[in-house]
Structure 1
C-alpha cells in the first residue's frame, strides 16, 4: 500500500482546492471536529486491516484539535497488545451520547452494519468514510463517499480528511500549523 507524506497531501489539497471533492472533505472534517465531545471511536471493516494509519494521523492532529484524539476499536485485538491497541468491540458496545464513531470502510458487511446501528441507538454520532455503501451511509449522521472513479483513492481521502480536520478553521494554512507546532514544542517566541 502506497503511503503519502505531508508534502504530497498538501500538494493534493492544493490541486483539489476549489473542487467539489475538497468542499465535501471540508464539510466532513468540520463535522468530525465537532461531533466527539467525549471520545472519537474509529472502526474499520471486520475483514480488512484496522484503520491504524488514519488513527495515527488523527492522533497527530489532536495536538492542535483535541477532539480528534481517536480510540482505535479493533475487531480482534491481539493478546498482549499495548492498551491503546487492545480496545475491542466491548468499547463500541459502550458507546454513548457525546461520543462519535468514525467508520472507515469501502463496503459494509452485515456484522459491521449491526455494530454501527447499535452505536447509533445508544446515542453516538455516526460518521462514515465509505465507498458508496448505501446501507452504511444511511446509518450515518455525516458521510463522505469516495467513488472508485473519483479524483482520489480511498487512502488519499483518509489523508485529506485527517489533514483538513486538523485545521482550526478553513483559513489556516501550513505556516500557521507549523508555528503552532513550534510553539507547542519550544514555547512561544519572546519578542
Structure 2
C-alpha cells in the first residue's frame, strides 16, 4: 500500500475512531529512547516483515531513527544478514526505555509468545501490541490496538499501514528537544545571512 492509498484510507476512516487511535498508538512507538530499542515480534508462524519495512521507511522519511525496528525472529537462519539474524535472545536483553511491539494476526497468541512478552515486560520494556482482539496479549501490553476481524472497512494490514504512517508523522504535542531549541536559538542569534 503506497502513501496515496494510506491517505485515501485515512479519509475513508475519518469519521471513525481508527485514525485518532492509530495516532495515539504511534506516539507510544516514538517514545522508544534509542535506535535499535524498538523490537518487532510476530508469532512463530507469521513474522511481521511488511510492517518492519514500513516502519524502517518511516524512520528514514521522518528522520526518527528510533522507529527503525529490530525484527526479532523465532528461528533466524545462521547465514542470514546480521539485521535478519536477531533471535529471541534479544528479548532477554530488553530494558527500560526499549519497546517490544508485538504483532499477532491470529485470534489468540501462542503460549510461547505470551511467555516471551511477559519476560520482556518484567525486565522493564514497554509492551505494545497490535492484534485481533486477543485478551491475553492485551492484558500484558502497556498499550494495544485491536481489530476484530469483522471491523470492516479496515483490514489488519490496513491497520498496520495506519499505525506505521502515523508513527512517521510529526507529533504536534511533542516538545522540541535540547538540540532543536539550541539550533533555533543559534539561528535567531546569528540573524539572517546576507549574500555578498
TM-score in same-fold range (> 0.5): yes
Structure 2 gaps of 5+ residues are 174-194
Query: How many residues of Structure 1 are paired with residues of Structure 2 in the alignment?
Result: 167
Give 1:89-104 correspondences, 5 Å limit: 89-104=88-103
- Aligned mate of 1:32, from 23, 29, 37: 29
2:112 maps to which residue?
Answer: 111
- Cα separation, 1, equivalents of 2:128 and 2:169: 18
The alignment status of 1:44 with 2:46, answered yes or no, reads: no
Runs of 4+ displaced beyond 2 Å:
none
Q: Which of structures 1 and 2 has the bigger CA Rg?
A: 2
State the Cα distance separating 1:31 from its structure 2 match: 1.2
1:12 maps to which residue?
Answer: 9
2:58 maps to which residue?
Answer: 61
State the Cα distance separating 1:115 from its structure 2 match: 0.2
2:161 maps to which residue?
Answer: 159
State the Cα distance separating 1:47 from its structure 2 match: 2.2
**In the alignment, is the contact (CA less than 8 A) between 1:130 and 1:145 conserved in 2?**
yes
Kindly provide the CA deviation profile for residues 34-58 of structure 1, in whole angstroms up to 9, marking residues without a partner as x. 2x1131000001122x111111110
**In the alignment, is the contact (CA less than 8 A) between 1:132 and 1:147 conserved in 2?**
yes
- Cα separation, 2, equivalents of 1:125 and 1:159: 21
State the Cα distance separating 1:17 from its structure 2 match: 2.2
Kindly provide the CA deviation profile for residues 63-82 of structure 1, in whole angstroms up to 9, marking residues without a partner as x. 21222110000001122100
State the Cα distance separating 1:170 from its structure 2 match: 5.7
- Cα separation, 2, equivalents of 1:119 and 1:110: 14
- Aligned mate of 2:20, from 15, 20, 23: 23
Give 1:136-147 correspondences, 5 Å limit: 136-147=137-148
Q: TM-score, normalised by structure 1?
A: 0.83
- Cα separation, 1, equivalents of 2:138 and 2:100: 13
Structure 1 gaps of 5+ residues are 172-190
- Cα separation, 2, equivalents of 1:19 and 1:170: 21
CA RMSD of aligned residues (A): 1.6
- Cα separation, 1, equivalents of 2:128 and 2:145: 8
